[in-house]
Amino acid sequence: MATSEAIETALRDAAAERARLVRLDDDAITVTVDVAGVKASDHDAIEQAVRGAVEPLRGERKLRIALTAERSKPRLIAVGSGKGGVGKSTLAANLAVALARRGRSAGLVDADIYGPSVPTLLGREGVKPEAENQKLHPVDSDYGVPFLSMGQLVDAGQAVAWRGPMAGKALTQLIDAHWQAKELVVDLPPGTGDIQLSMVQSHKPAAAVIVSTPQDLALIDATRAITFFDKAGVPVIGLVENMAGYVCPHCGELSDPFGSGGAEAAAKALDLPFLGRVPLDIAIRTASDAGIPPAAGDSVQGRAFLSIADKVIDWMEGHGHAA
Ligand code: ADP
C-alpha cells in the first residue's frame, strides 16, 4: 500500500502546494484542494490533475477530493510619500518583486490615481484583468508578483477627476479581488487624500513604508505622511531614501544632487527605522521604463531594493506576519 509520503509527493508534483492529504484510511484517501483565487472554469482541470496523480497509488482505496476556498484576507503594506515623483511607485514595485524573490507570497496593488505606473513597471501595459462573480482576477507578471492597477479600471487621466466615494469604490475593487497572495504592497497616490483615507478606514494596512528624496522640502512632506499613518494607528515600518547620490554613467563618480543622508537623519529625528538608500541611477529609470524591475536581477541597484525588502520582512516576522 502506498505510504502517505508517496501520496504527498505525488500531490505536490500535481498541484504544487494546493492539494493536501488529510486522511489515509485502509479503504479511502481523502484529499483537500485549496482553490481560493482559482477561476471556477479551472477547478475541473485541477481536480483531474490531482485524481491522475493519486490514481496509480490508490490500489483498492476510494479517493475523495474536496475543493475548498478558505482564504484569509491578504495583509496590506502601504507605500506612501509626501509628494509625487520621489520614486514611490518604483519602490513599491521593486519591494513586491524583492519580497517574492525572498519566498514571500506577494502581490501589488497600484492605487495611484494620479499616475498608475505599475503595469509599465511590471512590463504588462494594456493587459486587462478578467472578472468573475464581480471580482477581479489579478494579472500575472513575469516576476512572481500578480497585480491590479487603477490604470486597468479607467483610461489614463480619467481617475484624477474622481471624488472620494468613486475613488474609494475603485480601491475596494482592487483590494477585494481574487487574491492568492498573502501580502499586498499598495502603491498609494502621493500625499494624504481621499484614497489614503479610504485605505485606513476600509482596508486598514498592517503597516506603511514611506519614501522620500533627501531634500528638506520632500522630507517635510514625508513627515506629513508619517503623521497621517500614525494618527490612523498604522505602524510605519520606516523611511526609504530614494534618488540619493548620483552615479555618473560616464566616469562612475558619485555626487549628491539632492543632498544625501537627509532621510536617515529625518528618520532618526522621528524615531523611525531607516530602511535604506536607493541611488539616483539612470539604470533604474531605463529598466523601469522597459518593464524590468531592478529587484528581479542581481545588479547593485537590485541589491538596494532587496536589502530594503529584508528589513520589511524582519519587521513583519517580528510582528507575527511569518511567510
Ligand atoms: P512616484 O511614484 O513617487 O511619483 P515614480 O516611481 O513614478 O515616482 O518615479 C518617478 C520617475 O523617476 C520615474 O521615471 C522613475 O523611473 C524615476 N526614478 C525613480 N527612482 C529612481 C532612481 N533611484 N534613479 C533613477 N530614476 C528613478
Last residue of one domain, picked from the residues 18, 45, 68: 68
Q: What is the per-residue pLDDT for 230?
A: 95
- Of 52, 68, 84, the last residue of a domain is 68
Report yes or no on 157 lying in a domain. Answer: yes
Residues 57 and 179 in one domain: no
In a domain, 323, yes or no: no
Q: Which residues pair with 80 in a beta bridge?
A: 210
CA-nearest residue for atom 19, ligand 1, is 87
* Residue 15: per-residue pLDDT: 77
User: Does residue 137 sit within a domain?
Assistant: yes
- Report yes or no on 79 lying in a domain: yes
> Which residues fall within 8 angstroms of residue 94, CB to CB, at 6 or more apart?
293, 294, 295, 302, 305
More confident residue, 102 or 39: 102
Share of the chain above pLDDT 90, in %: 67
Q: 145: which 3 cell numbers?
A: 508578483
- One domain for residues 62 and 172: no
User: Do residues 56 and 176 share a domain?
Assistant: no
Cell for 303?
Answer: 541589491
With a 6 Å cutoff on the Cβ, whether 90 touches ligand 1 is yes
Domain identity same for 102 and 43: no
Beta carbons of 37 and 180 less than 8 angstroms apart = yes
- The alpha carbon of residue 112 and the mean position of all alpha carbons in its chain are separated, in whole angstroms, by 14
Q: Which of 68, 102, 121 is the last residue of a domain?
A: 68
Tell me which residue range forms the domain holding 174.
75-318
Give the Cα separation of 217 and 310 in Å (integer): 28
Nearest CA to ligand 1 atom 27: 285
The reply to whether 246 falls in a domain is: yes
What is the grid cell recorded at 148?
Answer: 491590479
What is the predicted pLDDT for the residue at 217? 72
C-alpha cell at 65: 477530493
Specify whether 236 is located in the same domain as 254: yes
Which candidate, 85, 40, 46, 312, places its Cα nearest to that of 183?
A: 312
Residue 279 Cα: closest atom of ligand 1: 23
Mapped onto helix, strand or coil, the DSSP state of residue 141 is: coil
Residue 183 has pLDDT above 90, yes or no: yes
CATH number at 53 reads 3.30.300.90
Residue 108 counted as domain residue: yes
Ligand 1 neighbour 86 (Cβ under 6 A): yes
- Specify the pLDDT at position 70: 67
**50 and 181 inside one domain:** no
Residues 185 and 310 in one domain: yes
What is the separation of C-alpha 242 from the centre of its chain, rounded to a whole number of angstroms? 19
Separation of CA 270 and ligand 1 centre (Å): 25
Cβ atoms < 10 Å from Cβ of 34: 18
283 and 197 share one domain: yes
Give the tens place of pLDDT for each residue, 113-158: 888 899 999 999 999 999 988 899 999 999 999 999 999 988 766 7
Q: What is the predicted pLDDT for the residue at 133?
A: 80
User: Rounded to an integer, what distance in angstroms lies between the CA atom of residue 226 and that of residue 234?
Assistant: 9
Instruction: Kindly tell me if the per-residue pLDDT of 44 is higher than 80.
Output: yes
Q: Which atom of ligand 1 is nearest to the CA of 81?
A: 3
d(CA 148, CA 131): 12
Of all residues in the chain, the percent with pLDDT exceeding 70 is 98
pLDDT at 277 over 70: yes
* Range with lowest mean pLDDT among 74-83, 202-211, 240-249: 240-249
Domain total in the chain: 2
Neighbouring C-beta atoms of residue 62, cutoff 10 Å: 10
pLDDT level of residue 315 (50, 70, 90 thresholds): very high
Residues 163 and 108 in one domain: yes
| Cβ–ligand 1 contact at 280 (below 6 Å) | yes
pLDDT tens, residue by residue, 67-79: 987 667 899 999 9
What's the average model confidence in pLDDT over 62-88? Answer: 90
Ligand 1 midpoint to CA 286 (Å): 10
Report which DSSP code applies to 305. H
Q: How confident is the model at residue 86 (pLDDT cuts 50, 70, 90)?
A: very high
- Determine how many CB atoms are found less than 10 A away from the CB of residue 189: 26
Find all residues with CB under 8 Å of 30, minimum gap 6, and list them. Answer: 21, 22, 23, 24, 64, 66
Which stretch, 129-133, 150-154, 160-164, 181-185, has highest mean pLDDT? Answer: 181-185
Phi then psi for residue 319, to 5 deg, are -120, 30
Lowest average pLDDT, out of 25-34, 201-210, 213-222, 302-311, goes to 213-222
Cβ pair 246, 280 in contact under 8 A: yes
C-alpha cell recorded at residue 80: 506612501
Task: Please give the grid coordinates belonging to residue 299.
Answer: 545588479
Nearest-atom number in ligand 1 for the CA of 244 is 23
For ligand 1, whether the C-beta of 152 sits within 6 Å is no
Q: Quick one: average pLDDT of 235-253?
A: 88
- Quick one: 186 and 296 in the same domain? yes
pLDDT score recorded for residue 125 = 94
Q: Are residues 276 and 228 in the same domain?
A: yes
What rounded mean pLDDT belongs to the chain? Answer: 91
| Residue 319 alpha carbon to ligand 1 centre in Å | 30
Ligand 1: which residue has its CA nearest to atom 14?
285
pLDDT band at 244 (very low <50, low <70, confident <90, very high): confident
Contact between 28 and 63 (Cβ < 8 Å) = yes
Least confidently predicted of 59-63, 68-72, 73-77, 236-240: 68-72
| Residue 78, ligand 1, Cβ within 6 A | no
The CATH code of the domain that includes 146 is 3.40.50.300
Q: Are residues 131 and 239 in the same domain?
A: yes
In this prediction, residue 61 has a pLDDT band, given cuts at 50, 70 and 90, of very high
Q: Is 32 in the pocket of ligand 1 (CB under 6 A)?
A: no
End-to-end CA distance of the chain: 35
